[in-house]
Structure 1
Amino acid sequence: MKKPFNVIYEDNHLLVVNKAAGILVQGDKTGDKTLTDLCKTYIANKYNKPGAVFLHPVHRLDRPVSGIVVFARTSKALERMTALFRKREVHKVYWAVVKRRPKEESGKLTHWLVKDSEKNISSAYEKEVPNAKRSELTYKSMGKLNDHWLLELRPITGRPHQLRVQLSTMNCPIRGDIKYGFSKPNPDASINLHAFHLVFIHPIKKEKLFLRAALPEEPFWEQFLEFENIKSADRRLDNTFSG
């Protein structure tokens, strides 16, 4: 049984974890145990905290996605982190594996997204439509391995299912993502989308945090580790997030 999460960073204000695919961040109608529950138990046990633990996710990752999730441990941290996300002062980098090569090596995608909460699916439109939210990301192809392409994604906005539906609209659905047009599911029901890096100014300490979530420990993902060397040579990472 793989661990549901690993701790990446922890202090009195924040808990940042690397979530395994398949774990819900917050409760839904399935009633399955959530990452929030598991992390509250971790804090309670580690610090011998009797009673309720204050711990709130500041953002979400879809259930089949792996990678970085930030929790606030105080109401002050929650308020300030929420503001950072809202003002788009949190820089996010994802890795996605797709089967089809994108037409362009790199580019920017802009769509208007409408979420159907009943069906839990988002639709993307080229032009503005009623109730739609503008959604933007930049992408860059990192290279090809065994018939698959690795893309680096940098979302500018944070909409539900945004990366999944925008890549699907580009005719590059994410491997395993049958909801958005991939031909077959992954055996473990994950999709090959991983929240890899987050960079932001600590809400209380005011220092810059560079957080990285290791790729899932499974053979398909691990073969892409060789692209990390290319990535680490890209020193622009810490200054610019324009892709």
Structure 2
Amino acid sequence: MKDGKSLTPAIPILFEDNHLLAVVKPPGVPSQEDESGDPDMLTLLKLDLKERYGKPGNVFLGLVHRLDRPVGGAMIFAKTSKAASRLSEAVRSRTFGKTYICIVQGKPAAAKGQLKHYIRKDKSRNQVTVFDYAAPEAKDAVLDYTVIASNGSYSLVSVKLHTGRPHQIRAQMAHIGCPLVGDRKYGTAPVSGVPDIALWSTSVTVPHPVTKEQLTFTSIPHGQPWEWWSRDELERASSLFL
């Protein structure tokens, strides 16, 4: 087992054993290969495992969940097919926990609450539409949120996902009039000094695929726009739903 070591300066390793690999995904890196042809997490990590362990041939690494390209933070991969199957089942049964923090424009009307909507994805545009009712081909989308701090123009919000729909946090927050900072796809203009969408995967909680021990891997962001808030506020936001 390796704990807290670094793959490269860009991709820190949070945890590794024979079954799991937990890392911090940098913003801007695709979770898996896409039409851009840019280096992606799955390919980069496979190459690293091959080099570090001197493995001949292809290296197995299973993509258990995805983060949108502009989003950074905690992410896990399966190192065996058995682990991939069991972790995928955890996702389906919703025993796979995910928390995030984000910075939104304005402030939600309620300081905390649960958002329940229906989301339909348009694959041709890679964009989703949010409905307040059960619409054709739309899937339920549920999250809890709490506002941690607000400066009048922006708010720091902690989020716990109950479903894992495409662009869920981005689309649902925009739907209630509080789009994420830097998210031009869902309603905000570019913000000076903010290179990516202000959304970060702060924790992933999952039963170990072999030992069944409940594991939580955490990551707290730094840099802009997260520096708008104190370290204490970021830590409180990151740990609220743990």
The TM-score with structure 1 as length reference comes to 0.90
Measure, in 2, the Cα distance between the counterparts of 1:129 and 1:219. Answer: 37
Deviation (angstroms), 1:69? 1.4
1:140 corresponds, among 146, 159, 163, to: 146
Q: Which residue of 2 aligns with 1:25?
A: 31
Count of aligned pairs: 234
Q: Which residue of 2 aligns with 1:241?
A: none
Deviation (angstroms), 1:41? 1.3
Q: Which residue of 1 aligns with 2:210?
A: 204
Contact 1:91 1:198 in 2 (8 A): yes
2:117 corresponds, among 111, 131, 134, to: 111
Q: Which amino acid aligns with 1:116?
A: D
Change (3 A) 1:174 1:83: same
> Does 2:223 match 1:218?
yes
Change (3 A) 1:145 1:137: same
Change (3 A) 1:82 1:226: same
Query: Which whole-Å deviations, capped at 9, do the CAs of 1:9-42 have from their partners, x for residues lacking one?
Result: 1110011111010000011111211111111111
Q: Which amino acid aligns with 2:180?
A: I
Aligned-CA RMSD value:
1.9
> Does 2:13 match 1:45?
no
Deviation (angstroms), 1:231? 5.2
Contact 2:100 2:238 in 1 (8 A): no
Change (3 A) 1:205 1:186: farther
Change (3 A) 1:229 1:27: closer
Deviation (angstroms), 1:50? 1.7
The TM-score with structure 2 as length reference comes to 0.90
Contact 1:176 1:186 in 2 (8 A): no
Change (3 A) 1:95 1:11: same
Name structure 2 gaps, 5 residues minimum.
1-7
Measure, in 2, the Cα distance between the counterparts of 1:146 and 1:129. Answer: 34
Q: Describe the SS at the equivalent of 1:76.
A: helix
> Does 2:17 match 1:15?
no
Contact 1:18 1:214 in 2 (8 A): no
- Detail structure 1 runs of 4+ shifted over 6 Å in the superposition: none
Query: Which whole-Å deviations, capped at 9, do the CAs of 1:39-97 have from their partners, x for residues lacking one?
Result: 11111121111211100110000000011111100000000000001100011110000
